[in-house]
Structure 1
Amino acid sequence: MENIRRVVEVARLLADAGLIVLASFIAPFRAERERARERIGAGEFVEVHVDAPLEVAEARDRKGLYAKARRGELVNFTGIDSPYEPPPSPELRLDSRGAHTPEALADQVIDHLRQAGKLHPAEQQD
């Protein structure tokens, strides 16, 4: 929770300076994400849910952290012995089960920002 609080503060400072900030991290609890939205501002905060079922996340785990958590070597690991509360209505949901490339998923984020009017005209050119 402290790491997320710090990320939110840095993101808020950068957003206040006029930058678009993309922060990628696991925020397993709805309350944490809601605090982030309140701190950054509802008009500036865009919740992007990268939807990866647990089995997909485990299959992609290059560091073996899920295996360690399943053996009890890591505690409070999201999805294993600590819950994950999916967002009920994120502004954008990305299905990362393999139907789309990472580049296509990134394009979805950019398209969302364009449609929301978050990109200046010069930034909207491909």
Structure 2
Amino acid sequence: MNDTTSQLFWHQPKVSIDNRRSLNQHKSCVIWLTGLSASGKSTLANELDKHLHSQSIHSYVLDGDNVRHGLNKDLGFSPEDRKENIRRIGEVAKLFVDAGLITITAFISPYLEDRNMVRSMFPQDEFVEVYVKCSVEECERRDPKGLYRMARTNQIKEFTGVSAPYEVSENPELIIETDKQTIEASVLQLVDYLKTNEYL
């Protein structure tokens, strides 16, 4: 197979990210929600998206399950496939941020190395890591898909929080404890962060 990478060129668009941000009247960034299964990432992502939409803010949610129906349907859950899953999402999120959107991602993304890889794709002020903190006990109590039950009975191997690790970042931009506050309070905490840091 011939390596065609050297033959590829980045085509500079005539409409820049600054042009798009000026049109939208807000900055763009990726809000990377990470945490255990059933910690509330998808719920929080969609409620934040709904709130931003109501305020005429241009946003979009990239959800782990949804992306695996299409873009990443060829990937499994091995460490290698998890890494590739996160790499692809990082690249898609980068395009969405360039399009001027507040891009909200909801992925377990359990490994520090993988999250740091995605962080390195962005300028410092375009990547906001949010640790959606929730105890394993509460996640198991919620367990909407029955995944923890299957993991406990060895029907699922390498399940994060049970038989595989979740590596907590030392300095995420934000920690939201969904087992200690309502979804409404969690959304407001995120919105306050975006306003304080002049994304909105």
TM-score (norm 2): 0.57
Q: Secondary structure at the match of 1:7?
A: helix
- Give aligned-pair identity as a percent: 43
Q: Does 1:113 align with 2:185?
A: no
Q: Which residue, out of 51, 54, 57, partners 2:139?
A: 57
Q: Which runs of 4+ in 1 moved over 6 A?
A: none
The gaps in structure 1 that reach 5 residues or longer are 120-126
Write out per-residue CA displacement over residues 86-119 of structure 1, whole angstroms, 9 at most, x where no aligned residue: 111111000111x311111011111101111111
The gaps in structure 2 that reach 5 residues or longer are 1-82
RCO higher in 1 or 2 (8 Å CA, sep ≥ 6)? 2
2:84 and 2:104 map into 1 onto residues whose CA distance is 18
Offset of 1:17 from its aligned partner?
A: 1.1
The count of corresponding residues between Structure 1 and Structure 2 is 118
Question: Would you tell me which structure has more strand in proportion to its own residues?
Answer: 2
Q: Secondary structure at the match of 1:55?
A: helix
Q: Secondary structure at the match of 2:186?
A: helix
After superposition, residues 33-112 of structure 1 pair within 5 angstroms as: 33-97=115-179, 99-112=180-193
1:122 aligned residue: none
Amino acid aligned to 1:109: L
1:31 aligned residue: 113
Q: Does 1:8 align with 2:90?
A: yes
Write out per-residue CA displacement over residues 5-62 of structure 1, whole angstroms, 9 at most, x where no aligned residue: 1211111100011111110110101111101110123220000000011111111101
In our comparison, the structure showing a higher alpha carbon Rg is 2
Amino acid aligned to 2:131: H
